[in-house]
Amino acid sequence: MSAHHPAAPVGGKLFNLPVMICGLLIAAMFAVLFVRFIFGLGAVTNLNDGYPWGIWVVVDVVIGSAFACGGFSVAMLVYIFNRGHYHPLVRPALLASLFGYTLAGVGVLFDLGRWWNFWHILWPGYANPNSVMFEVAVCISAYITVMWIEFSPVFMEQWGLKVQKQKLEKVLFFFIALGTLLPMMHQSSLGTMLVVMGPQVNPLWQTPIVPLLYLLSAITIGYGIVLFESCIAASAYRREIEMHLLQPMAKIMLGVLAAFLAVRFGDLVVRGALGHALKPSLEAFFFWLEMACFVAPYFIVGTAGARRNPARLFVAGCSIMLGGILLRINGFLIGYDTGLGVDHGWNYFPSIAELLVTLGMFALEVLGYIIITRRFPVLPREGAAH
Amino acid sequence: MTSRRNFLRSCLAGGAAAASAVLPETACARDTLVRPPEGLGLLYDATLCVGCQACVAACKQANENPAEFTAMDKLWDTPLDTSGHTFNLIKMYRNGTMETKDSELNGFSFMKTSCMHCADPSCVSACPVSAMTKDPVTGVVGYDPDACIGCRYCVAACPFGIPKYQYDSPTGKIGKCELCRHRHKDGHYSACAEVCPTGATLFGRTEDLLAEAKRRLAVKPGEWTTIPRGRLPAKGETPEQAAQWKGLVDQSYQAKVGNYLQHVYGETEYGGTQVLKLSAVNFQKAGLPDLPPKSSAATSETIQHTLYGGLIMPLAVLAGLTWVAKRNVVPEDDEASKNQKGGQS
Ligand code: SF4
Ligand code: SF4
Ligand code: SF4
């Protein structure tokens, strides 16, 4: 393994503009949630019987957790494929994942109509192991715990708990293995959640191999988000971008992306579903948009020269993230239709209140990231990473 | 090092292959479930239905559901669709001048909307906390609000759009027809069938109802035949068994047979449903989905069990990952000494 660059707190003031904006957004979220818990889901959301799941489930949980795959994608690179030189990317990526998942877990509660029963899902007397959602819930809960364990050396370092840290590091490899397996399991299962909905999901997104599609796309999104985060963190903290790491990582990302695209198209051809993409419909339009976002990175960072340009890496990361968003929104919302002949006429578009909650959750993530990176050793020490 | 890579690669490849597998033929494959032999259900015959909505009112009463007002004057219960407070609704197919009943062209027809009590219900497979369950004997798909977490996966999963959530309440429940199972112990069968004046909604054992449906399909359209009302006595039913149910045994009357499509809806759809339907108007046009004989629950659970059955595959992958990670994770304090040894990549 190559040498690790020690991480260090970024330091600096905690009260600044971004933090205040986050604070405002979070306050707005709590106001909406107050109304939601007093008057019910109908009071603040546009959910209805034709669209029982809206952006709280699809964006906050399904997309949010895929965005939190940076930690898993990088950890896999470092510890499983033994690419130790990516090590400086591990902590920041893990931190973002930690927040993404923890908040996705909390966010589910807002959407549960009978939230006080939430523990049933982990209780043997109630659990239904045939349910894909049961599997997702168990894996995500376990993964959140594992990630806090994986991340805890950061706190131990800051608080000088040397002995505990050494003890933990002896067994950390097991948690890292678990922390690679669990997201693989539930990211694929997030896709499998569509299967039981049968013909209500457009054939462009309803396929028995949906677990593999969601898994591969989650891994690519993981790398995309690392590109995105590294560029943002570098510009926000006026630090140098870790180009020597991001360049080769972008190449790996393109490789996984190619596997994803091969499976995506192969599946459509084998099932004969490609015809649905040629109809003049909203679904077909969004399908091609999704495809465009997944293919664009080859044009943006396809050459070694292009990958030396940080702006291009950033845009490529965004493009992949957008593709991942679309794959999920398309499956769960655009391509979902109760479609019962005379029943037609259900519509869904998120209300302002729903959007405020999603924004508030996002603000919480950003706020947490800022506070922890400024006060705890997460990002590599400036000047050491060369 | 190379062997480690290869090991890992085959690990991942194994996982990927299984994930991608459209593996209905493996040991983990789960077939579409069939109706329990003694399963109870309803037979709805659209050609007999006169659209009086008596069943809708009876269903409201039997389930203590409030009226839903959508008209300005709030004179009576006018739900626009089934909902968390309306478990049964008679909907209408309309075309052109609407002159002829049970005609697709310039005609109209009715269709009952309520739970189909599927043999292999998507809602039961989806529910993470076993709040939706299928009774092994009666096959009734019941709901337990005390178990339910309100995730609404059942709502999203049901191909008939049946379970509905009460969005207007902070403690909203799922509402759906449970075949009036709470009335069975007092000898009352489904309220909708009990009040139906024409026998368009008939209660009984699904197998008997299916035989009755086929009998009607076999009669020439326009010919007179006997139509039972209320409850269809089970084949070979003893007097004791009959006494289990309240109400007149024989309410049958003579009626002309409709011009049916030769299809009992629910006989094979998704492995069959316990509520069966007859119609003279195309079922899709009347609002029922076109479903294959294989249930989505079977596909979903096959994938699920192939990947996680007995946790064999996850544990195998975990073992592989742990083995690899143990070699690659270097405690940070003695990483300097290890640097010399493993310097690859
Ligand atoms: S019709 Fe829907 S709610 Fe009723 S049993 Fe079938 S899947 Fe469940
Ligand atoms: S809403 Fe309730 S009954 Fe429906 S799937 Fe969720 S927990 Fe089960
Ligand atoms: S069986 Fe009972 S609950 Fe179901 S539709 Fe008929 S009256 Fe309503």
Q: Contact at 8 Å (CB) between B276 and B44?
A: yes
Asked whether residue B343 carries a pLDDT value surpassing 80, the answer given is no
Distance of alpha carbon A337 from alpha carbon B121, whole angstroms: 19
User: How high is the pLDDT of residue B340?
Assistant: 40
Of B38, B36, B42, B39, the residue nearest B232 (C-alpha): B42
Output the pLDDT for position B213.
97
- Could you tell me where the DSSP H helices lie in chain A? 17-39, 41-44, 55, 64-67, 70-75, 90-111, 132-158, 162-192, 210-236, 243-271, 282-301, 304-307, 310-329, 352-375
d(Cα A68, Cα A60) in Å, to the nearest integer?
A: 11
Count Cβ atoms below 10 Å from residue B338 Cβ, excluding itself. Answer: 14
ipTM reported for the complex, 2 dp: 0.89
Which residue's structure tokens are 């409850």? B231
In this complex, do B145 and A114 lie within 8 Å of one another by their Cβ atoms?
A: yes
Amino acid at A83: R
Strand order through the sheet with B100-101: B89-94, B107-113, B100-101
Distances (CA, A) of B223 to A71, A241, B47, B220: 72, 85, 14, 6
Q: Which of residues 239-268 of B touch A (CB under 8 A)?
A: none
pLDDT value of residue A385? 40
Distance CA B335, CA B345 (A): 16
Question: What is the rounded CA–CA span in Å between residue B264 and residue B278?
Answer: 6
Residues of B in contact with A343 (CB under 8 A): 81, 161, 287
Angular region, A45: left φ>0, alpha ψ -120 to 50, beta rest: beta
Q: What was the pLDDT predicted at A86?
A: 80
B259-299, pLDDT tens digit by residue? 999 999 999 999 999 999 999 999 999 989 999 999 999 99
C-alpha B64, offset from chain centre: 23
Residue corresponding to tokens 């990483």: B335
Chain centroid to CA A95: how far?
A: 12
Place of tokens 């677990």: A211
Contact B274, A326 (CB under 8 A): no
Q: Provide the β-strand partners of residue B175.
A: B164
- Find chain A residues with C-beta within 8 A of B304's C-beta: 130, 132, 135, 189, 192
* Count of positions (residues) in chain A: 386
Tell whether the model's pLDDT for residue B338 goes beyond 70.
no
Ligand 2 pocket test, candidate residues B124, B130, B151, B162, most atoms within 8 A of CB: B151
Whether residue B118 has its Cβ less than 6 Å from ligand 1: yes
pLDDT of residue B169: 92
Q: How far apart are CA A54 and CA A35, in angstroms?
A: 17
Tally of CB atoms within 10 A around A37: 15
CA distance A306 to A297: 10
Q: A17: which DSSP letter?
A: H
**Any idea which of A85-94, B220-229, B322-331 has the lowest mean pLDDT?**
B322-331
User: In which residue are the tokens 């994942």 written?
Assistant: A97
One digit per residue, the tens of pLDDT, for chain A of length 386 reads 334 557 888 777 777 888 899 999 999 999 999 999 999 999 999 998 888 999 998 888 888 888 888 888 888 888 777 777 788 888 888 888 888 888 888 888 999 999 999 999 989 899 998 999 999 999 899 999 998 898 888 888 888 888 888 888 888 888 888 888 888 888 999 999 999 999 999 999 999 999 999 999 999 998 898 888 888 888 888 877 788 888 888 998 999 999 999 999 999 999 999 999 998 989 999 999 999 999 999 999 988 888 888 889 999 999 999 999 999 999 999 999 876 644 567 888 999 999 999 999 989 988 988 888 888 888 877 654 43
Q: Say which range, A66-75, B165-174, B331-340, has the weakest mean pLDDT.
A: B331-340
Q: Is residue B155 in contact with ligand 1, taking CB distance under 6 Å?
A: no
Tokens representing B99 are: 């002159």
**Whole-number pLDDT of residue B202:** 96
* Residue A303 and residue A240 in contact, taking contact as beta carbons nearer than 8 Å: no
User: Are the C-beta atoms of residues B179 and B117 closer than 8 Å to each other?
Assistant: yes
> How far is Cα B148 from Cα B174, in angstroms, rounded to an integer?
8
Q: Which of B126, B150, B321 sits opposite A113 (nearest CB)?
A: B150
Q: Is the pLDDT of residue B335 over 80?
A: no
- Whether B332 shows a pLDDT value over 90: the answer reads no
Residue holding tokens 């260090």? Answer: A8
Query: Smallest Cβ distance to A212: which of B20, B286, B345?
Result: B20
Rounded Cα–Cα distance for residues B324 and B302 (Å): 30
Q: Let me know if B234 is exposed, middle or buried by CB neighbors in 10 A (0-12, 13-18, 19+).
A: middle
DSSP H helix total and E strand total for chain B: 11, 12
- Nearest by CB to A49, which of B83, B111, B335? B83
d(CA A50, CA A348): 8
The predicted structure's pLDDT at residue B328: 73
Q: What is the CA radius of gyration of chain B?
A: 27
The pLDDT, as a whole number, for residue A6 is 74
